[in-house]
Every structure is written in C-alpha cells, then in structure tokens.
C-alpha cells in the first residue's frame, strides 16, 4: 500500500478547494471544487489517504519519546525539553502545533464523512470499509488530544470556522466513551489481517481496532476490558487475524521485514516520495550523521537487566566500570553504547568508540563524548533502533513506524492480569517469557515466573519490561502519565554515561521538574484561547 497511499496526494490537495458553489455558479475547470471533487472514486480514495497521512508520523513518535525519561535533546531548548524542565507556558509552540494538526486531521475525516455519499458508482463494501477507516483515524486523533489536553472541543461532524470559535471543551470521559463505541461499531466492517491482500498492507484492520481498544482501556486502568481485548487478539486469530512475535527483535524494525506477523498497524513511508530523517541527528557521527541532537539517557541504559535476569542493582557480577557486557540483547539493538557495533550502509560492521580517549583514528574519535554541547553525543550514547540501512542519503528513510504491535498486546495483558491479582506462571509464560526468549535471554532466572514476588514487585518488573521492549517507540511518556509516576521518572537531574571528569563521574545534564498538580496535562494553546474564550478555564497550573 505504500505507494498507493501517498503518491500524488500532496499535488491533488494543493489544488483542491473546499468552497462550495450554488447551482448558478460557473464550475471552475482549473481546480477541484465540491461540484467536481466528489464525482470520482479515486479522489475519495485520496481523501482517505490524506487522513491516514494526518493520523501519525515519525516526527510525532520521536517527539513523544523526547517527553519521556528515555531521551535527551541537547542541542537546543526544544519544546519537549522546555516541558520536561518545567518552563513551558500556554504560548509554547508544541502545545499549539499538536492542537492544530489534530483538528486539521479531524477536518479531513469530517469532510470525507459528510461527502462520501455523493461519490457515484463507489462499491458499497469499499465505501463501508473506508468509512470505518476514517472513523478509526478520527478516534485515534481524539485519543491523542485527550491524553495531552484532557477536555477538548469535541464534534462528530464538519463544522464551520465561525462555529469552531464558539465550542467549549467536552469532558475527557465523554470523548473516551465515544472512542470505544466507535471502535466497537466499526470492527465488523473491517477485514482481519488474514483477509487482506498484500496490496492493502498498512490499512486499518479488525486487529488494529482490538489493539486500539486495549490501549485506550489500559490508559483508563480498566483492567478487565484490557484483558478482554488482548485475549481477542491472542485467542481468536480466526476472527481478528494471526499475530505473533517476529523471530528477531533487532530485525523487526527494518524495511526488509515490514508488515511481518508482529505488526498490527504501522504508519507508512514511501521510497522517494515520503521519507523521514531523525537519525541524521541521532546516529554515530562516524556513520555519516550530521551531529547529535537526540540521545538516550543513562536511566534507559540502566533499565536493561543482565543476562542473569537481574536488575543491575541486584546482580553481584555487574561492573559499573564495564557496564555493557552480559546485558539484555535488546539494549544493543536499541542503543549504541561504547564498544557497541554498527553496520554501515555498505554492510561493514564497525566498533563505535564513545568513551573519551579511546578512538584510535580521526574517524573513530568523531563519536567520542566531548561535552553536552558538542556535535557528538551529549549523553555518551547514540540511537540504533529504527536505523534504516537502505536510507543512505542524509538518513532519509522509507521505514514504516510501528503504531501497534503484538509484543505490546502481551505486555498490556500481563500488566492487566497483575493489576487484577491474577498473574500466574501461565500468564507469565505466555507473555513476559515469550518476549524475553525472543530477545535472546536464556537464563532460567530471566525466563521463569518469579513465584515469590509480590504484586508490587511484579508491577515493577512488568513496568521495566515495557520500558525495555518498547523503548524509543513513543509510548514511554504515556505510560508514566497513566501510572501517575511523573515525580518518580520525570523529576530531578538527568544523567549520561560515566564519561565526565576523566571518566570518573556520570555526565550531568538538565535538572527536570515535574509538578504533580500541573504536568499530567498540557495547556490549552494561548493562540486558541485568544480566539475562543469558551475554552477557559485552562488546565490547572496554567494561566488563563
């Protein structure tokens, strides 16, 4: 579906106008209008594809990740960095841009739903399926909105600009109820993964609906519903599609293995048409990156267990001065650390030298830590996950971004079972054990159910497992928010590797601030308040 979804899309919508005409107006021949646009099935398809385009993106995923304790943006005071340092106010650009993009996407969905009945000769089954896809996308956009802003203006039909200036905010709970109802209603209108031809890879399926339902209920701590929808995916493959863990964790995030059995829904990119290039400022400089503006933090590295199945704080064999040996293999698949391997665009495998004073030549020395403000890494680490070996030109990548995958379903299921007090060895073996086996862990202590662990201890294990498995996939921030654990993870000094002061102390970076009474929600953008006073009062902690 990659090329079908996006090619020529921007050209069409650059020419399209949505202004209506009455029956006496001449119909322009040099651009699309409502009189001409909806006379074509192809145009309607392009409108659906435009909605897919507005649903998500690589930029959104990476920016979401930068809101968490996994990543440090060291080159400039980015909006994410301002939020984490507690200095964001209602005029922050990220607050306004997220809001703007969301309502632009909703506009596309509502225009399609308002006009699709005008398309002549569209196949009834195709029409029903495209309507279901649009309703999914609309629900997903609203889901992002309420998780950032809480109560937001809500409407389920196209409205005018003047009407938008009068809308007040609808309670988050009401919008979430709408989302669940929408997903329930559209499920029967969509095919399962197994029923789709390869040409439709990347389109929304019945399985994607179930995964979305599970995630939405997870964020509401509705554990019974999480179990229900996860079990649908785990046990009813004839209905929802066959899913399973891909054989290799590292290879899961490669162009060669897109649309594999673990991917439930991804966001598509197209060769030479639609690309993303975040790793140009996150990969090792010796591998052709421009500079480092986006680097993993020490707390993420510390989260990876040892091969013995223990946290580093509990493993007597862990050596702080040689910290990267005998660790969970997912660390090396996600993060570039000192002495780690990198495969360049020509297939050659090299060792990356980050610890100051270790590079033996000029190229190797490019990656060494210098300072938090240098071109090289600010934390002592680089990003590896989502590295596209086929990208080459300035790291411009066609690699799809995964939105929902089966490992997350298993982790949601394990968490819900534990919160219900029902996590036994059976559930452990069908979730955490499977995930760790796929990662390459072999020690029985890492794989076997910790029978003597309390519910609180299991909660910690599962939360850490989520961080390890899903690192740099844009989900960590939302986990912290739903756990109401901002002070635990997003407060205080953030650190890099032990490369400061002659490799004797950890790199000290920003001191982050988290206000429990404010920072679980974002401010309504100042620009929107200026246009519409009905959006007041603002969220707690932000000035009106």
Low-confidence ranges of the chain (pLDDT < 50): 3-30
Give the global pTM: 0.94
Alpha helix (H) ranges present in 379-429?
406-419, 425-429
Q: At what angle do helices 93-115 and 41-55 cross, to 10 degrees?
A: 160
Residue 355 and residue 375 in contact, taking contact as beta carbons nearer than 8 Å: no
Per the prediction, the chain carries an average pLDDT of 93
What pLDDT shows up at residue 241?
A: 95
Question: Are 284 and 367 a contacting pair, CB within 8 Å?
Answer: yes
What pLDDT is recorded for position 276? 97
What pLDDT, on the 0 to 100 scale, is given for residue 326? 96
Model pLDDT for residues 311-357, shown as the tens digit of each residue: 999 999 999 989 999 999 999 999 999 999 999 999 999 999 999 99
Treating both helix axes as pointing N-terminal to C-terminal, what angle do 41-55 and 124-149 enclose, rounded to 10 degrees? 20
Predicted confidence at residue 397, as pLDDT, reads 97
pLDDT digits (tens, 9 = 90+) for 13-53: 433 433 333 333 344 444 556 778 999 999 999 999 999 99
pLDDT at 10: 38
> Which residue do the tokens 């290879």 mark?
251
Burial class (CB in 10 A: 0-12, 13-18, 19+), 127: middle
- Provide the residue ranges of all domains of the chain, joining segments of one domain with +: 2-189
- Contact by Cβ (8 Å): 286, 362: no
Is the preceding peptide bond at 537 cis, omega within 30 degrees of 0?
Answer: yes
Tally of residues, the chain: 544
Q: Which two structure tokens, joined as six digits, stand for 239?
A: 């209905």
DSSP letter at 505? B
CA distance 73 to 79: 10
pLDDT at 526: 97
CATH ID of 2-189, from 2.40.50.140, 1.10.3720.10, 1.25.40.390, 3.40.50.300? 1.25.40.390
Q: What is the pLDDT of residue 32?
A: 58
């Amino acid at each position: 579906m990659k090329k079908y979804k996006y090619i020529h899309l921007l050209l069409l919508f650059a020419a399209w106008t949505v202004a209506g005409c009455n029956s006496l107006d001449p119909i322009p021949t040099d651009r699309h209008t409502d009189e001409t646009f909806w006379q074509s099935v192809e145009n309607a398809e392009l409108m659906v594809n435009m909605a897919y385009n507005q649903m998500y993106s690589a930029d959104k995923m990476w920016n979401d990740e930068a809101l968490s304790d996994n990543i440090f943006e060291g080159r400039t005071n980015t909006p994410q960095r301002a939020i984490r340092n507690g200095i964001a106010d209602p005029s922050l650009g990220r607050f306004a841009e997220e809001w703007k993009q969301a309502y632009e996407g909703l506009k596309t969905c509502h225009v399609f739903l308002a006009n699709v009945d005008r398309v002549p000769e569209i196949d009834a089954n195709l029409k029903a399926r495209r309507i279901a896809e649009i309703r999914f996308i609309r629900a997903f956009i609203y889901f992002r909105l309420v998780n950032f802003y809480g109560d937001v203006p809500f409407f389920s039909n196209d409205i005018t600009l003047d009407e938008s200036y009068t809308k007040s905010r609808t309670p988050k709970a009401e919008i979430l109820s709408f989302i669940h109802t929408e997903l329930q209603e559209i499920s029967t209108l969509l095919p399962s993964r197994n029923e789709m031809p390869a040409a439709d890879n990347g389109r929304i399926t019945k399985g994607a609906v179930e995964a979305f339902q599970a995630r939405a209920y997870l964020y509401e701590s509705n554990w019974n519903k999480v179990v229900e929808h996860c079990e649908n995916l785990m046990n009813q493959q004839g209905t929802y599609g066959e899913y399973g863990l891909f054989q290799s964790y590292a290879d899961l995030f490669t162009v060669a293995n897109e649309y594999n059995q673990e991917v439930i829904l991804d966001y598509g990119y197209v060769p030479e048409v639609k690309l993303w290039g975040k790793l140009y400022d996150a990969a090792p400089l010796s591998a052709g990156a421009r500079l480092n503006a986006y680097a993993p933090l020490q707390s993420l590295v510390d989260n990876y267990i040892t091969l013995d199945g223990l946290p580093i704080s509990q493993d007597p064999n862990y050596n702080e001065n040689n910290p990267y040996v005998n660790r969970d293999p997912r660390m090396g698949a996600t993060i570039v650390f000192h002495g780690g391997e990198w495969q360049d665009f020509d297939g050659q495998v090299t060792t990356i030298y980050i610890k100051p004073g270790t590079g033996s030549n000029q190229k190797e020395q490019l990656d060494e830590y210098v300072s938090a403000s240098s071109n090289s890494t600010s934390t002592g680490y680089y990003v590896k996950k989502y590295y596209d070996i086929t990208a080459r030109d300035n790291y411009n990548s066609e690699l799809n971004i995964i939105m929902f995958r089966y490992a997350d379903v298993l982790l949601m299921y394990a968490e819900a079972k534990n919160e219900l007090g029902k996590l036994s060895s059976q559930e452990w073996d069908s979730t955490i054990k499977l995930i760790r086996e796929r990662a390459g862990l072999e020690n029985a202590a890492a794989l076997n159910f910790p029978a003597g662990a309390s519910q609180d201890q299991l909660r910690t294990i599962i939360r850490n497992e989520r961080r390890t498995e899903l690192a740099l996939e844009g989900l960590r921030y939302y986990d912290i928010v739903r756990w109401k654990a901002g002070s635990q993870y997003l407060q205080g000094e953030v650190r890099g590797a032990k490369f400061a002061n002659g490799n004797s102390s950890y790199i000290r970076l920003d001191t982050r601030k988290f206000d429990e009474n404010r920072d679980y929600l974002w401010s309504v953008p100042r620009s929107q308040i200026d246009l519409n006073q009905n959006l007041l009062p603002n969220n707690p902690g932000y000035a009106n």
